[in-house]
Chain A
Amino acid sequence: MTTKTFKLGLLSAAALAASAGLAMAKSDIVVAMQLEPPHLDPTSAAAGAIDSVLYSNVFEGLTRFGSDGSVNPGLAKSWEISEDGKTYTFMLHEGVTFHDGSAMDAEDVKFSLDRARAEDSANAQKALFEGIENVEVVDPLTVKVTLAAPNGSFLFNMAWGDAVIVAPESIENIKTNPVGTGAFKFTNWVQGDKIDLEKNGAYWGTPAKLDKVSFKFISDPTAAFAAVMAEDVNAFVGFPAPENLPQFEADPRFQVLVGSTEGETILSTNNKMPPFDNVKVRKALAHAIDRQAIIDGAMFGYGTPIGTHFAPHNPDYVDLTGNSAYDPAMAKELLAEAGYADGFKTTLKLPPPSYARRGGEIIAAQLRAVGIEAEISNLEWAQWLEQVFRGKDYGLTIVSHTEPFDIGIYARPDYYFQYDNPSFQQLIADLGVEADPAKRSALLATAQETISGDYVNGYLFQLAYPTVANAKVKGLWKDAPTQATDLTGVYWE
């Protein structure tokens, strides 16, 4: 009897130890996000979801973004910039291999950059590569990039997900089988459900701490809430229902990280469509909007008010919210001056995210208060891209512009808000060739003031980036300086 009890005790102790050992050794993670990538080639599509899964995990560039938005060495361990600022010589890391075993060398860098800047390139951010005049292979570990003119943000540009290094051997099937150099390699994609990655044992740098990673795609906010609550997923990046965050915060099982993004959420205005071609009407619009009410009502308080198209955490940000303070009486006056004393009718087309749908209802109510009747129509993303973004068939819309440092879109008169101001276009052209930090700051300030003073769009708030995760998961990025879910440093406590 005693031996039996003893044995039983030993067994359960062993089981306990085993389970404790398992818990300590937990090396897989399920990360959920809202949008699924359309395919897996970050160098040929604008869809941010591709970078959200693959950036830094599977694909790497010459430089890479840190969690604070800083630009750090990536595949290039160092670089030299010539005196005239036109030639960048990148020294590559030794012994870097792609996941298929082939070596990553200067030829691959040349291939990737030439492919991205080629005339028939499908790259969504071709502007990043515009200044490149020539890419030259000096030796297998040295690449010389020559620019047409000095470019202060070249290293920043090379850190984008659109500028990652790909191999000519695997480019053909990259959309379904991405082969990169990162700390994780792609294993499986169940469309409509998940993408699996596993640890790259032959990684050149600091190896990943996790062995297996699953990205799950859950678009419905209610399902997202249920999945996290039931612990079906270990983390949810970009959690879609801000109203549920306080509950997670109060629950010791979870941690909530509310970070900042590069997402300027704006009331985009069709600047060519009457009456919005009148700056007084746009100014009236800006004064009719109560930003704080939108942040409180649509985002449950998560979000920073902005007065121009620039991220508040950027050191060059100028706070211009005063330009468009909430003042419905003034808005009415301005409308009367513009000849719309009785208001007018327009359309407000809203894409699916809750910031747009809820924000749209609030803005419609605020506009109604000054006499503007904005007819709401809810669109799916595909419809929105077709009607609003490409078709420019809209009066107003709400969308978050999540690309980092994207004030340059205001210099494109064919962009969907159709803002055409030659002096602003000159400003952005000057900025492109200016390398002196102080002068760049001054130019950026002028740019921010120009679009704010022209009331191009209604500037609402900087989108918050909420991540809900198991309290034991460490090393997740809090902020989203670019669209990425960098899991290379993530581990279980």
Chain B
Amino acid sequence: MRNLWLGGVLTAIFAGMAVLSFLWTPYDPTVLDIANKIKTPSTAHPLGTDHFGRDILSMIMVGARTSIAVALVAVGIGMGLGVPLGLTAAARKGGLLDELIMRGNDLVFAFPSLLIAIMITAVFGASAVNAIIAIGIFNIPVFARLTRSGALSLWTRDYVMAARVAGKGATRISVEHILPNVTNLLIVQGTIQFSLGILAEAGLSYVGLGAQPPTASWGRMLADSQTMISFAPHMALFPGLAILLTVLGLNLMGDGLRDMFDPKLRRARS
């Protein structure tokens, strides 16, 4: 439970910063103030300023918004498409459709995801939207597989048999009986994928293929600070920490959620 709490708090801090950034940031992160460039942390700028004199705290707040939005939508795409595919495959286990869906998944899985994401954004243009699509595509097989394996064990249960006997179709059983019982699996995996999405977004912006300026993003902040790390380490430190803590928080939370949902572990504890 400690993991869940710690992870939850860390995630809440960054989610809170992202929400707050819609209403207020200490400075406008799109306004440059060259005269005040590369200032170390002070009371005026708690995390210092970057090479254009922008307030790093404000940029991290807006960057949190970018990261979370991209990762959230990407996980949404993965779940929205992956879960129905997984349910269908499980319902038609051993059939042609099952084979088709799962081999298609294997195909997508076979590619190194970040490289393909780079390729997609390079071909269709660098933007946050394309980054979302690229990351989202690679979430589909993750959720499809998970849903299928979870669903397969459920299809042998007595209550599913009962529903069948009562005359319910495969689709209805999937939605009414299978889906609710794989939800906990999906929540845990969703949290993990969410953290991977944030990492992927940071990676894409780092190579200049994510959100474009003037939208702040953590990955680009890191890329910008790279040549200045020897004399302005704070420029790299804070966005780096933001990525680290968010990903750590989400992973801890995922871990904690799994512990909470897993009946075996729950029994062992009590």
- A residues in contact (CB < 8 Å) with B: 221-222, 225, 241, 243-244, 246-247, 293, 296-297, 358, 360-362, 364-366, 368, 375-378
Contacts and interface: CB of A to CB of B under 8 A. Distances in A.
B162 to A, nearest CB: 59
Interface in B155-208: 208
Interface string B205-248: 00010001110000000000011101100000000000000000
Interface string B23-51: 00000001110110100000000000001
B52 A361 contact: yes
A297 B212 CA distance: 19
Contact of A297 (B31, B37, B126, B208): B37
B16 interface: no
A377 B125 contact: yes
The CB with the most chain A CB atoms within 10 A, among B31, B34, B35, B51, is that of B34
B227 A364 contact: no
Main DSSP-derived SS at the B contact region: loop
Interchain residue pairs A-B with the least CB separation, the first 9: A297-B34, A241-B227, A293-B34, A365-B32, A222-B226, A221-B227, A361-B213, A296-B34, A243-B228
A377 B126 contact: yes
A360 B208 CA distance: 14
| Most chain B CB inside 10 Å of its own CB: which residue of A361, A366, A378 | A361
A221 B226 CA distance: 9
A243 B212 contact: no
Contacts of A221: 226-227
9 contacts: A221-B227, A247-B231, A297-B52, A358-B51, A361-B32, A366-B32, A368-B30, A377-B126, A378-B126
B51 A365 contact: no
Contacts of A296: 34-35, 37
Contacts of B214: 361, 364-365, 368, 376
B227 A243 contact: yes
B226 A376 contact: no
Contact of A362 (B52, B226, B230): B52
A221 B227 CA distance: 7
A403 to B, nearest CB: 28
A141 to B, nearest CB: 52
Contacts of A222: 226-227
Contacts of B231: 243, 246-247
Contacts of B30: 365, 368
Contact of B230 (A244, A364, A368): A244
B213 A243 contact: no
Question: Main SS of chain A's interface residues?
Answer: helix
Contacts of B208: 378
A17 to B, nearest CB: 38
Contact of B213 (A246, A297, A376): A376
Nearest to B54: A365
A52 to B, nearest CB: 22
B230 to A, nearest CB: 6
Contacts of A366: 32
Contact of B212 (A358, A362, A368, A376): A376
Given A297-B34, A366-B32, A368-B30, 9 more contacts: A221-B226, A241-B227, A243-B51, A243-B231, A247-B230, A296-B35, A361-B214, A362-B34, A375-B212
A352 to B, nearest CB: 9
Contacts of A241: 227
A293 B32 contact: yes
A375 B35 CA distance: 24
B149 to A, nearest CB: 42
Contacts of B35: 296
Nearest to A375: B212
A424 B201 CA distance: 50
A245 to B, nearest CB: 11
A377 B212 contact: yes
Contacts of B53: 297
A348 to B, nearest CB: 10
Interface in B53-74: 53
Nearest to A300: B51
A368 B214 CA distance: 10
B204 to A, nearest CB: 13
B32 A362 contact: yes
Contacts of A358: 51-52
Nearest to B231: A247
Contacts of A297: 32, 34, 37, 51-53
Contacts of A362: 32, 34, 52
Contacts of A364: 213-214
B50 to A, nearest CB: 10
Nearest to B209: A378
Contacts of A368: 30, 214
A352 B53 CA distance: 22
Given A297-B51, A361-B52, A244 B227 contact: yes
Nearest to B212: A376
A375 B213 CA distance: 9
A297 B30 CA distance: 14
B55 to A, nearest CB: 14
A301 B214 CA distance: 23
A293 B213 CA distance: 18
Nearest to B208: A378
Contacts of A376: 212-214
Nearest to A365: B32
A246 B228 CA distance: 11
A398 B69 CA distance: 31
A365 B53 CA distance: 12
A225 B213 CA distance: 25
A379 to B, nearest CB: 10
A378 B213 CA distance: 10
A362 B226 CA distance: 19
B227 to A, nearest CB: 4
Contacts of A365: 30-32, 52, 214
Interface string B73-115: 0000000000000000000000000000000000000000000
Contacts of B212: 375-378
A377 B226 CA distance: 21
Interface string B112-144: 000000000000011000000000000000000
A290 to B, nearest CB: 8
Nearest to B30: A365
Nearest to A297: B34
Contacts of B51: 243, 297, 358
A70 B208 CA distance: 42
Nearest to A290: B34
A297 B32 CA distance: 9
Contacts of B213: 360-361, 364, 376
Nearest to B226: A222
